Amino acid sequence: MELLQRNYFELLGLPTQFEIDLTILDEHYRKLQSEVHPDRFVTASSNERMQSMQIATQVNEAYQTLKNNTARARYLLQLNGIETLEESNTAMPADFLMLQMEWREAIDDANAAKNVSALDALLIEIKQMAKALSLNLNHQFAENSYSQASESVRKLSFIDKISADINRAIEQLEN
């Protein structure tokens, strides 16, 4: 099936680049799933049901990847043969390392004081940093600065993780 050979951008009918129109992404996703989703093939042959499952799964994977800035950037780098090595690469610029430590301390303090609003405020601050990094990614990809883009992805990945930790902390305090 030709559809399975395409990369995520091609599959969803978008140009293969970092900056994409999220509204069009949503529109194309819904259109595509309307055609390939297993619900369309419930009474079809087992071949069609199997292929529908495969492609619909792929479409979901593609959509989730392209919808999220960090994932989209990571994927685009992969397409260009660059692995971001987020697990093993801990080399970060000193100022970001400082920020990481400050945030971790702030979370610990807020947790100890059972201060949910402090955690909420921290989340907002971190989200703003993520937004700025995403804007950087736009430039970095436009200029093909892949190593810089890679570093942005590593930072964003850390931010995603710490945001999840904060959300979990808020949840525990709320319960």
Partner 1 sequence: MALLQIAEPGMSAAPHQHKLAIGIDLGTTNSLVATVQSGMSTVLQDEHGHALLPSVVRYLEDGNIAIGHLAQAAQSADPKNTISSVKRFMGRGINDIPDTTHIPYKFRDTGAGMVQIETRAGIKSPVEISAEILRVLKDRAEKALGGELTGAVITVPAYFDDAQRQATKDAARLAGLNVLRLLNEPTAAAVAYGLDNASEGVYVIYDLGGGTFDVSILRLSKGVFEVLATNGDSSLGGDDFDHRIFCWILSEAELPPLNQEDTRLLLTKTREVKEWLSENYEAQITSVLSTGKIVNIKLTADKLVELTQTLVTKTLNPTRKALRDANLSIEEIKGVVLVGGATRMPQIRQAVAEFFKQEPLTNLDPDKVVALGAAIQANVLAGNRSDDDLLLLDVIPLSLGLETMGGLVERLIPRNATLPVARAQDFTTFKDGQTAMSIHVLQGERELVSDCRSLAKFELRGIPPMAAGAARIRVTFQVDADGLLSVTAREQSSGVEAEIVVKPSYGLSEDEITNMLKSSFEAAEQDKQARALRESIVDAERLIEAINAALAEDGHLLSADENFTIQAQVQALKTTIHDKNKDHIIQAIEILNHSTENFAGRRMDASVKKAFAGKNLNKLEL
CA distance 29 to 60: 8
8 A C-beta contact, residue 10 and residue 55: no
Please give the full DSSP string across 6-46, using - where no structure is assigned. Answer: S-HHHHTT--SSS---HHHHHHHHHHHHHHHSGGGGTTS-H
If binding is defined by CB under 8 A, does position 125 make contact with partner 1? Answer: no
Residues 82 and 146 sit within 8 Å (Cβ to Cβ): yes
Please identify which residue in 33, 100, 136, 148 interacts with partner 1, judged by CB under 8 A: 33
95 binds partner 1 (CB under 8 A): no
- Does residue 124 belong to the site contacting partner 1 (CB under 8 A)? no
Query: Is 30 among the residues that bind partner 1 (CB under 8 A)?
Result: yes
Chosen residue from 8, 9, 25, 28 binding partner 1 by CB under 8 A:
28
We find the least distance from the C-beta atom of residue 46 to partner 1, in angstroms, to be 6
Number of residues counted as binding partner 1 (CB under 8 A): 36
Q: Is 39 near partner 1 (CB under 8 A)?
A: yes
Q: How far is the CB of 44 from partner 1 (least distance, A)?
A: 5
User: Does residue 167 belong to the site contacting partner 1 (CB under 8 A)?
Assistant: yes
- State CA 28 to chain mean position distance: 18
Distance (Å, rounded) from C-alpha 123 to C-alpha 108?
Answer: 14
Q: Which two tokens stand for residue 62?
A: 């593609």
Residues in contact with partner 1 by CB under 8 A are: 1-3, 13, 28, 30-39, 42-48, 51-53, 55-57, 60-61, 63-64, 167, 171, 174-175
